[in-house]
Amino acid sequence: MPRVLLLHALVGTGHKRAAEALAIAFAQRQPGEVRVEDVLDHTSRLFREAYARSYLELTDRAPLLWGYFYTQTNADPNVAEFTNNIRKVVENVGTNDLKKLLTAFQPEIIMCTHFLPMELLVRYKRKARLSQPVYCVITDHAAHTFWTYTEIDGYFVPDEQTRDQLVVRGVSAGQISVTGIPVDPVATKTKDAAAIRAQHGLNADGPLLILFGGGLDDDQVRVIVQGLLARPLAGTLVVVAGRNATLVESLADFSSSATLHLRVYGLIDFVDDLIAISSLIITKAGGLIISEALARGVPLVVFNPIPGQEEWNADYVVSSGAGVQLRIADSVPATVVRLLNAPQMMAEMRACAQATGRPRAALDIAEQVLHDYTARRHR
């Protein structure tokens, strides 16, 4: 198997999870040397901290400003060119260590799940410093201009709309494959719901609701949890806070109601177990978490998407019929009750989720890349 380098940028967790899913898929197809690397680990400390912090601060503290920036750089060529020139100057100063990684590992295939490493590699290609094929995996349901480079050897995109956006911007349709967003191939395996509930100490009966709250506002999560506990719901509510230890602490004063059992987790390694047995998922509109839910055929309540790529993701869920979108925390509990009390509607949403989900996306991508590699070697 060829040496495969999977590059992401740890700006949020979705891009990394996509790269890790691809690594698993490659390992299942052909044993070999596959490396997952955060491109920011191969930049200067100043660049790394500024890059990650600027995005997280904007989306957390000034989402409307982020949305304006996202829209303007995507729609106005002059603005896009201006910001691109600024990024070039900054990146040329702060990203030289990436060349050392390429020299040391000597990858035969390079794949990017974030546009930053893709931008850098395209510049190397233009200067004839890189001959290896470079593939791009888009992890949201939209192709911003940041993703658009005709020098990329192949694009893997989540849906036809994203493909069409790239084509309009000059990317050849022959370079683009509609595969879905890569999720851990474990999503292709059926799991025993009763065994999972017993293993994790969850109630054996009733619906299982999951609230992925790590990327949401803590106060809004409290409103949602309090509202759900106050309603006549019978079942289990699982809140997954991820790395957000503050959220775990803020929920410590909540306890199960007479009918709704409450469990709060921090960072866990059994997310797929929970998704596989869940009845309904409440979450932000991240491309990966949405894809993981759809891959398991689970309906979604997408809450308060930030302007930009999350709005595209939320629109995709709603337009596919697999979920609903809400922006007010107080409206979530009532909507959840309404959905759970409408079995026909839930069945239709689950059917739409199953039809939309792409549990084999990572495997399909790995197979195509390896096929291209073999064909290239025999030319």
More reliable by pLDDT, 81 or 67: 67
As a whole number, mean pLDDT of residues 301-322 equals 95
Check residue 70 and give its pLDDT: 64
- Does 83 have pLDDT greater than 90? no
Cite the DSSP H helix spans in the chain: 14-29, 45-61, 63-75, 77-94, 97-105, 115-126, 160-168, 193-199, 218-229, 245-250, 271-277, 287-295, 309-320, 331-340, 343-356, 361-377
Would you say the CATH fold of 186-356 matches that of 4-183+359-377? yes
Check residue 19 and give its pLDDT: 97
Q: Does domain 186-356 have CATH number 3.40.50.2000?
A: yes
Whether residue 308 contacts residue 331, with contact meaning beta carbons closer than 8 Å, is answered with no
As a whole number, mean pLDDT of residues 25-37 equals 90
- Picking from 57-66, 287-296, 315-324, which range would have the lowest pLDDT averaged per residue? 57-66
Check residue 152 and give its pLDDT: 94
The pLDDT tens digits of the residues spanning 188-220 come to: 999 999 999 999 999 988 999 999 998 899 999
Strand order in the sheet with 154-157: 34-38, 4-8, 109-112, 134-137, 154-157, 176-178
The contacts of residue 33 (CB under 8 Å, 6+ apart) are: 1, 3, 4
- Does 95 have pLDDT greater than 60? no
Confidence of residue 256 (pLDDT cuts 50, 70, 90): very high
Check residue 68 and give its pLDDT: 64
- Does 75 have pLDDT greater than 70? no
Quote the CA–CA distance of 16 and 7 in Å, as a whole number. Answer: 8
- Does 69 have pLDDT greater than 60? yes
As a whole number, mean pLDDT of residues 163-176 equals 94
Tell me the domain boundaries of the chain: 4-183+359-377, 186-356
**CATH classification number, 4-183+359-377, choose in 1.10.3470, 3.40.1000, 3.30.70, 3.40.50:** 3.40.50
